Amino acid sequence: MSQSYDRGLVEDFGRWKEFSAGMWAWVLHKFTGWVLIGYLFTHIAVLSTALQSPEAYTQTLHGLESLAVVRVLEVGLLAVAVFHILNGVRLLFVDLGLGLDLDVQEKSFYAALVLTAVIVVASVPTFMEGVF
């Protein structure tokens, strides 16, 4: 059965040389998690314009979507969300005892990275449509 183990401090700079796929997956999952919870608070704040008036809601969303920088940030958000989802699926499998072998864990991590890249690149035209 799987178990936690003492990984030491990730913050120790010299440890980058010993980073394993599992460690990278852990770091990226945490990073994407922080971004997503930060976005959730921002998202609800923006949608709160619905409490003012229908016009405020529609104009706010249209105004934000007219900015190229917002569209680029949305592509970044997509990348963050897709990786968090795919790596999360990988974690669910590992916690169910499936794919525990180290090489399978590493391959599934790299697969999550590649699939994230493919989905994000394929989504760029839709996300950037009409902004330039």
Partner 1 sequence: MSNSNNPERVSSFAYGGTRWLLQRLTAAFLVVVLAFHFFLLHFAVHAPEITFAGSHFRMQQLGYLVTMVLFLATATFHGTNGIYNALVNQGIEGTQKQAAKWILVVASLLLFVQGARVAWQLTVGF
Nearest in space to 21 (alpha carbons), one of 104, 84, 81 = 104
Q: Which residues contact 25 (CB under 8 A, 6 or more apart)?
A: 87, 90, 105, 109, 112
Return the H-helix or E-strand segment holding 119: helix 102-128
Query: Taking CB under 8 A as the criterion, which residues in 6-25 touch partner 1?
Result: 7-8, 18, 20, 22-23, 25
Pick from 99, 118, 78: nearest CA to 22: 99
- The residue (of 72 and 88) whose beta carbon lies closer to partner 1 is 88
Q: Is 47 in the site for partner 1 (CB under 8 A)?
A: yes
CB 116 within 8 Å of CB 81:
no
Our finding on whether 57 is near partner 1 (CB under 8 A) is yes
The 8-class DSSP code of residue 19 comes to -
Using CB under 8 A as the binding rule, whether residue 107 contacts partner 1 is answered as no
Give the residues lining the site for partner 1 (CB under 8 A): 1-5, 7-8, 18, 20, 22-23, 25-26, 30, 33-34, 36-37, 40-41, 44, 47-48, 50-51, 53-55, 57-58, 61-62, 65-66, 74, 78, 81, 85, 88-89, 91-92, 94-95, 100-102, 105, 123, 126-127, 129-131
